[in-house]
A and B are shown apart, each in its own frame.
Chain A
Amino acid sequence: MMNNKAESLNRRKFLRGTGVALALPWFETFAANESKRDPAPKRFVSIYHPDGVGLPVKADPAWKDWSWFPRGGEKDFELTKVLDVLEPLRREITIYSGLSHPAARTVHGHSNADQYLTGAATGGHGSYKNSVSLDQVYAAHAGEFTRHSSLVMSTNGGVGGPRGAQTQSYNREGRPIPALNNPKQIFDMLFVTSGKDAAAKLARSKSALDLLIGNTRSFGRRLSKHDQETLQQYLDAVRDTEVKLEKARKWIDTPVPKVDTRHLTLDADPKEARLYFKTMYELIYLSFLSDSTRVATFQLGRENGGGQHNLLSKAVGLGNAHALTHAVKKPKGWENLGTYNRYQAEEFGRFVQKLKDTSEPSGQGNLLDNTFAMHGSASSSFHLSRNYPIISAGGKNLGFENGRYLKFGEGNEDNQAGAGIVTDRGWQGKVEAEELPLSRLFITVLQRLGVEAESFGGITGTLGRV
C-alpha cells in the first residue's frame, strides 16, 4: 500500500461518492459541448425526508392546522401550520400533490428512500435491483464543468442497505453512491486541495494509455484496411479517456476556491440537529456558489429511523423522529409530527432564501433563479407510498413558474385518500385515487436543465402545467 489505509479508504470513498470526473457515464456524448461553457450554471438539488407527513382525516380536529397539503386552488392556496414557515417564500415555491412512482405504489413505506429519485421497482423482498437516479442523469450531463460531478449527502451516511437506503443517488448501473455525512470531511473534499495520491494515479493511467495507443498502432498495421477502421473505435475510446484524464488532472492543478469558514461549524453533529442541518445546507450553498458542483442530494435520516435519524427531532424538542409517525393518534400526535415537518420546511426555506439573496456570480439573476430545488418524501400518510408531498423552489431562469399549488390526478379531494391511517392495511390497500407518475416531473426537470431526456424510470412524457 502506498499510504495508510484509512486515508486511502477515505479517498476512494469520495472519489466514488462524488465521481471526480473519472468515470462519468455518457460523458462522451457531451464532450463536444465542452467549448461552450454556459455562463449561468443550471443546478439541481434534492432534499429527501423519510417517513412522510401528517395526513389526518377531515373529521379530525387536527385536520385544520396539521394536515401537510395546502388548501384552496392553484394560486390562492392557503398553507397550514406545517408549511406556514414558507409563506414569505410563497412566490418562489410550488407545492405538488397527486404524484408518485407507479412501480412502487404498493411497497411498504419503510422501503421508500431507495426509489424516490429512481422510480425503480425495488420491491419488498428477495433480490434487489435499482436504477439510475435523477440527479445522476443530470450529473452525467453537467458534471464535466465542475470539479465534482455531484455532492451526495445524508445524515446517516454511506449507502444503507437494500430497501433501507441512506443515499438518494444511484449510478448508471443502479448501484448506490455512498453519501457523506461529516461536514468537515465534505468541506475538505470541496475546499481543501486533494492529495498527491490522485495525481500519481492519474500519471499511471496516462502512461498506460500512452502504451495502449502505441500498441494499438502497431497492432493496426497488421490488419486489413476494413479492420483498421473498426479498430479506430477502440483508439477513439482510449483518446476520449485520455481527454477525461487531462480534465481530471487540470482539476488537481486548479486551486480550490477559497471559502470563509468563520461562520461554519464543521464539527456539527446530528445531535444538534438545527446546527447540523444548517451546516449541511451551507455546504451545498457554498459548493453551488463556488461552482464546485451543480448537483446535490441530501437525505434527512433514513426510513424506519435508526442511527442519527432518531436525533433529528430533538431540534424541536421532540423524541425519536420515526416514532412520531406511529404516534399520531396519541394526544398531540398530529401536532408533533406536523411540528417536525414544519421544522424540515423551515430549514429548507432558509436555504432557499439564501440562494435567493445571493446574486449569480455570472450576473444572471440570483442563485435560486438558476437552481431547481426539490424537497419531498416518497410517503404521504403512514407507510403509504402514494401522493408524495413535494415542494420545489426556484428555477425561474429554467422556465419554472412558481407561487402555485399543483394538484395532479383525480379522485383525491383534499388529499383524503389514505388519510388518517395508522396500520399497515393502509399501504397494502387498493390504489383508488388516480395519480400521475412522478417521473414525468423528472423528465420536465431534465429537459429544462438541458438534458435531452424522453423517458425516465420506464415512464415517457413530461408533466403539464409545471
Chain B
Amino acid sequence: MSRIGIFILNRIGIIAWCLFASASLCRAEKPSQSSELPLLANAREVGRSKSALLASVSRKETSPPAGPPAANLADFKQHVAPVLTKTCVACHGPEKTKGKFRIDTLDPDLMQGGDGEWWLEVLDVLSNGEMPPEDADVELADADLSKVIEWLGPEIQKASTVQRSEGSHSSFRRMARYEYSYALQDLLGLPYSLADRLPPETASEDGFKNSSEMLQMSAMQFETYREIGLKALKHATVRGERPKMDVYRLPLQEEAFSAINNENIGEIHPLNLKAKKGEKAKKDVSLDKRNHSVKLNLSNHLPDEGIMRVTVRAGRSTMNADEYASLRLIFSAHTSNNANFSQVVSARDLPVTASADKPQFIHFDIPLSEIQRNPFRNNEEKFPRRDEFLTIQYSSSTRNKEPLGVLVDFIEISAPFHEQWPPKTHRDIFIESKNKSDEQVYGREVLTQFMERAWRRPVTTKEVDPFVALFIEYRLDFTDLEEAMLEVLATVLATPEFLYLAQQISVNHSENSNTISDMELASRLSFFLWSSIPDKELLEIARKGKLSDATVLASQVKRMLADSRSNRFSQNFVQQWLGMDALESVTHVNDRSLKEAMEEEPIAFFKEVLNRNSSVMDFIHSDYTVVNERLANHYKIRDVYGPHFRKVLIKPEMNRGGILTGAAILTMNSDGEDSNPLQRGVWMLERILHDPPPPPPPNVPEVDLTDPKILQMTLKERIADHRNKPACISCHAKIDPWGIAFENYDALGVYRTKIKNKPVDATSALFNKQELAGMDGLKRYLLAERQDQFSRAIVHKMTAYALGRPLSFSDRAEIDSLALQFRKKGDRLGDLIQLIIHSSIFNSK
C-alpha cells in the first residue's frame, strides 16, 4: 500500500469509491487480460451488468439504528482483525512499513477515532483490486475480503452520518470572480464584464474555482469590489439630456438612408472611399482583400464612453448551404512607428445569412470605455497620431468554384448609442414613482427594490434604514439625487449579503433547522445552473414558499436549463472539471481558430449529453463526436461545414468519440513537442476517475538526457526506465499505464500510428496487471470494469460544484445514495442534475 503514506496527507477531503452496503464483492473485477475485455460496442452493456453498485439494489437497506450510532468493535475483533493481520501487517506493520503506512495502528473506532480517512483509503485500494499487489506473498481470498468490507462499509457510513450532523464543511462563501461578473451583469443589465480587475481564483483539489475553502477575502479584494461596483452603476445609469450621437456613415449605394432614429444625430462624418480633395492619399476606407477586411479611419471623434453601435448591411454572394460567412470587429491604432496595437472587440463573430439581393442588418454594440483606445486621441498635437481604426473582417468557409464572399453595401457607426432614453438599465434602478418629488421617500423606494434584487430576498424597513441615512448624508455632497444614490448603491454592492452565498441559521428552532430556506435554495440553484443571482421569477416563487415543492422545483430546473444562462453552467463546470485552464499555458497551438475549437469541444459535447439527457458513459466513449468544421478537419472527419458545433456520427476507424480523445485534453497534456503520458495519466486519475495520485516527492531524479543511452530511447522506454528507479516506481506504476494508452495521439491530439518511424506502442499494464491496448483498450476497460468508479466520480464532482464546497468523509453516505439512484436511472446527465438538486445534501446548510 505504498502510495498511501504521502497521499493521505495531501488531501483534505477524500471519498473512496466502493459499495459498503453490499455483501457481494465490491472489488472491481479481478485483473483480466485485454483479450477478455468485451469489444467497445458492447462494453457498456457488459460493464453495467457487472456493476456492484447496481447489484446492491435488490438488497434491503439497513434501517438506521435508534440513538447515536456506536462503533462495531466486536465484529472487527472477531472477523476483520484476523484477516488484516494475516494479509496486510507483513508489509504495513511494525516489521516493514511500506508507503509509511501501518494498518495495525489504525483505530477501529471510526466514530471516535481519528482514522476515518485512512480507512477510506483501505476500502479504496481493496475494492480497486490494488492490494494486496500481484507480486505479494499473500493473497486475499474473496471470503476474507467480504468480511472486511461488510464491516468497514457500514462503519464508514455511520461515521459519516455522525460527522455530517456536526457539519465540518460549509457552503458559505463569497462569489467566485466569474460569478461576481455574471451577477453584476444580470443585476444591472450590462452586456459585458467589468470584473477583470479582480484577482483570479485558485482551484480546489477537485479543480473547482467556486469552492468555499479557497475563496478568500482581503482588503485589496474588498476595495476592488467597491471600485467595480460604482463603475458598473455608472455604466448602467445616465444623467442629463439625451446626448447627440456622432455618426459615421459609409454609403455605398445611391439611396441615402440610416439605420437609426434621426432625431438624435449630432455630427455626421462621411467616410470617404477616395481621397478628399486637396489631401493627398488621405482616404478613410481601405480594403484589404488578403485579410478579407475593410478598415475604417474614424479619426478622433469617438466619445470616451458609451456604446459604439456598428451597423453593417451585408449579404452573401452565394447561398450554398454548406458554406458559412461571419463578421468580426477589430479596433486598432497606430500611434507612431512600431507603437501599434489591435484587438478583436466583438464578443463573438456574427453570421451573415442573408443573400446579397436581400441583405440583412448586423449590429455590434461595443462599450468604448472597456476597449483599448488610442490614448493620444484628445491631444492637440497631431503626433503621435490621434486617429482610431475600426476593421470589419469577414471570414468564410468556401470550397466551391464560385467563392463565397460577403457584400457590404452600408456601414454606419454611431456613438454614444442609446436604444432608449433613459435606457432600461437606468430605469430599472431609478424606478418610476409618484413619490419622485419627495427625495427621502423616493430614495427609500429605489434602495428597497435594489437591495431585494442584490440580496436575493425581501428586506425589512429596518434593514433599509442605515442605507437611507447614508443617502441623506451623501446627498449634501452632490448636486443631484442620482449621483449621491449611486454611491449608496455601490455600498449595497459591497455588503456581504451581495458578495456571499449564505445559509442563515433558523430563527425559530423548528425540526427542519438544517434545511435551507426557499430564498436560499433559489440562490443556490441559480449559482449552480446560471453562475449568477436568481431572476425575478425564481425569487417570486421562492418568496411564496413554493420552490421547495418537488414538482415546482423540477419545472424550475427545467426552465433554467432551457435558458441561455445555463450555458455558463456547461462552460464553467466543464472547464473546471476537466482543468481546461491548462490549455491556456501551452505554447504549441499556433492556429487561433483551432485552439478556440479545441476549447469549445468538451463544452459542446457536454451540452449535447445534457440536452438529450444521455448517459454520462458517453464521456468515456460515444459513437458520435461534437465538432465544427475546423475541428472536423483536424480529426479528418469529412463533410462538416461551418463554425457551429454539432453532433456527427463517426466510425471506429476515426478513433474518436467521448471526451478522452478530445484535442484539448490531449494537447494540454503535452509538452509542446510531444505527448506527455505522465501528465495524461495524472489527468485521467484526477479528472475522470477521481483518484488523484500523490504529488511527486521533493527529490525526484531528473531524466538525464545527456546520457546517450537514454537519448536513444523512445518516450515510452524512457518513462519505463525512469519508473524503474526505486524512488519513482510506486507512484509511476499507478500513473504511467493510463497515459501510455493515449500514445496514439500526438501533441495536438492528431491520431498517429508511428512516432519517428517506429510504430506507436500504446500498450501498457495497470498496477493490477490489467493490460490496456491503446485508447480502444482503455475505453473498453473503463466501460467494462470501472463504470461504478466513473459514475461516483462524476456524482462527486458535480455535487462539489453544485454546493461550492469540498466534499468530505461526512458526505459519503449522501454521495453513495446519489450514485446509486443515478446508476439505477441509467446514468443520465440531466437526471443527475435533478437528483442533486432534489437531494437532501443540496437542500441542507
Taking beta carbons and an 8 Å cutoff, which residues of A are in contact with B? 1-2, 23, 25-28, 108-111, 124-128, 158-164, 173, 200, 204, 207-208, 211-212, 214-216, 219, 222-224, 226-227, 230-231, 233-234, 236-238, 240-241, 244, 302-307
A-B contact sample (20 more), CB < 8 A, given A1-B483, A302-B336: A1-B479, A28-B219, A110-B337, A161-B336, A161-B339, A161-B376, A162-B339, A164-B336, A164-B338, A204-B473, A211-B469, A223-B502, A223-B505, A226-B172, A230-B170, A231-B172, A237-B219, A238-B222, A240-B218, A241-B219
Q: Could you give, for residues 317-361 of chain B, a 1 whenever the CB lies within 8 Å of some chain A CB and a 0 otherwise? A: 000000000000000010111111111100000000000000000
Q: Once bound together, how far apart are the Cα atoms of A7 and B374, in whole Å?
A: 23
Q: Once bound together, how far apart are the Cα atoms of A224 and B845, in whole Å?
A: 10
Q: What are 20 A-B interface contacts by the 8 Å CB criterion?
A: A23-B223, A27-B219, A108-B338, A124-B338, A127-B343, A128-B372, A160-B376, A162-B340, A162-B372, A163-B341, A204-B477, A208-B470, A208-B491, A212-B494, A212-B495, A219-B497, A234-B174, A234-B217, A241-B222, A307-B384
Please pick, from B381, B477, B500, B503, the residue contacting A2 in the complex, using a CB distance under 8 A.
B477
Nearest neighbor of B227 in chain A, beta-carbon distance: A23
Contacting pair B375 A159 (CB below 8 A): yes
Q: Once bound together, how far apart are the Cα atoms of A128 and B375, in whole Å?
A: 14
Contacting pair B218 A161 (CB below 8 A): no
Tell me the smallest distance from the CB of B802 to a CB of chain A, in Å: 18
Q: Once bound together, how far apart are the Cα atoms of A211 and B474, in whole Å?
A: 13
Contacting pair A28 B220 (CB below 8 A): yes
Nearest neighbor of B469 in chain A, beta-carbon distance: A211
Contacting pair B341 A162 (CB below 8 A): yes
By CB atoms of chain B within 10 A, which of A110, A237, A307 has the most?
A237
Q: B487: CB under 8 A from chain A?
A: yes
A residues less than 8 Å from B495 (CB atoms): 212, 215-216, 219
Please pick, from A125, A204, A216, the residue contacting B341 in the complex, using a CB distance under 8 A.
A125
Please pick, from B216, B338, B496, the residue contacting A304 in the complex, using a CB distance under 8 A.
B338
Contacting pair A204 B479 (CB below 8 A): no
B residues less than 8 Å from A212 (CB atoms): 491, 494-495
Q: Could you give, for residues 354-391 of chain B, a 1 whenever the CB lies within 8 Å of some chain A CB and a 0 otherwise? A: 00000000000000000010111000010110000000
Nearest neighbor of B339 in chain A, beta-carbon distance: A164
A231/B496 contact (C-beta < 8 A), A162-B341, A163-B340, A164-B335 known: yes
Nearest neighbor of A226 in chain B, beta-carbon distance: B170
Q: Once bound together, how far apart are the Cα atoms of A304 and B107, in whole Å?
A: 74
Tell me the smallest distance from the CB of A363 to a CB of chain B, in Å: 35
A residues less than 8 Å from B341 (CB atoms): 125-128, 161-163
A residues less than 8 Å from B375 (CB atoms): 158-161
Contacting pair B470 A110 (CB below 8 A): no
Contacting pair B335 A215 (CB below 8 A): no
Tell me the smallest distance from the CB of A34 to a CB of chain B, in Å: 14
Contacting pair A230 B173 (CB below 8 A): yes
Tell me the smallest distance from the CB of B739 to a CB of chain A, in Å: 29
By CB atoms of chain A within 10 A, which of B227, B384, B495 has the most?
B384
Q: Once bound together, how far apart are the Cα atoms of A214 and B469, in whole Å?
A: 13
Contacting pair B221 A173 (CB below 8 A): no
Tell me the smallest distance from the CB of A108 to a CB of chain B, in Å: 4
A230/B491 contact (C-beta < 8 A), A1-B479, A25-B220, A306-B384 known: no
Q: Once bound together, how far apart are the Cα atoms of A226 and B505, in whole Å?
A: 11
Tell me the smallest distance from the CB of A141 to a CB of chain B, in Å: 14
Contacting pair A304 B337 (CB below 8 A): yes
Contacting pair A164 B384 (CB below 8 A): yes
Determine the interface band of chain B, counting residues with CB < 8 A from chain A: 35 or more
A230/B212 contact (C-beta < 8 A), A161-B384, A164-B335, A307-B381 known: yes
Q: B64: CB under 8 A from chain A?
A: no
Contacting pair A207 B376 (CB below 8 A): no
Nearest neighbor of A216 in chain B, beta-carbon distance: B496
Tell me the smallest distance from the CB of B160 to a CB of chain A, in Å: 18
Q: B197: CB under 8 A from chain A?
A: yes
A residues less than 8 Å from B469 (CB atoms): 211
By CB atoms of chain B within 10 A, which of A111, A158, A230 has the most?
A230
Nearest neighbor of A214 in chain B, beta-carbon distance: B466
A residues less than 8 Å from B478 (CB atoms): 2
A233/B217 contact (C-beta < 8 A), A161-B376, A215-B466 known: yes
By CB atoms of chain B within 10 A, which of A215, A216, A227, A231 has the most?
A227
Q: Which 5 A-B pairs have the closest CB atoms?
A: A164-B339, A110-B338, A240-B219, A227-B172, A161-B335
Q: Once bound together, how far apart are the Cα atoms of A166 and B376, in whole Å?
A: 11
Contacting pair B172 A223 (CB below 8 A): yes
Q: Once bound together, how far apart are the Cα atoms of A244 and B376, in whole Å?
A: 34
A2/B479 contact (C-beta < 8 A), A211-B467, A244-B219, A303-B339 known: yes
Contacting pair B466 A237 (CB below 8 A): no
A161/B374 contact (C-beta < 8 A), A214-B466, A231-B500, A306-B383 known: yes
A residues less than 8 Å from B487 (CB atoms): 204, 208
Nearest neighbor of B219 in chain A, beta-carbon distance: A240
Q: B167: CB under 8 A from chain A?
A: yes
Q: Once bound together, how far apart are the Cα atoms of A274 and B375, in whole Å?
A: 28
A208/B338 contact (C-beta < 8 A), A161-B333, A234-B222 known: no
B residues less than 8 Å from A211 (CB atoms): 466-467, 469-470, 491
Q: Once bound together, how far apart are the Cα atoms of A164 and B497, in whole Å?
A: 44
Contacting A at CB under 8 A, from B492-517, are 494-497, 499-500, 502-505, 507
Nearest neighbor of A305 in chain B, beta-carbon distance: B336
B residues less than 8 Å from A108 (CB atoms): 338
Nearest neighbor of A230 in chain B, beta-carbon distance: B172
Q: Once bound together, how far apart are the Cα atoms of A236 and B220, in whole Å?
A: 11
By CB atoms of chain A within 10 A, which of B217, B219, B227 has the most?
B219
Tell me the smallest distance from the CB of A125 to a CB of chain B, in Å: 6
Contacting pair A111 B170 (CB below 8 A): no
Nearest neighbor of B473 in chain A, beta-carbon distance: A207
B residues less than 8 Å from A233 (CB atoms): 216-218
Q: Could you give, for residues 183-199 of chain B, a 1 whenever the CB lies within 8 Å of some chain A CB and a 0 otherwise? A: 00000000000000100
Contacting pair A110 B504 (CB below 8 A): no
Q: Once bound together, how far apart are the Cα atoms of A240 and B223, in whole Å?
A: 10
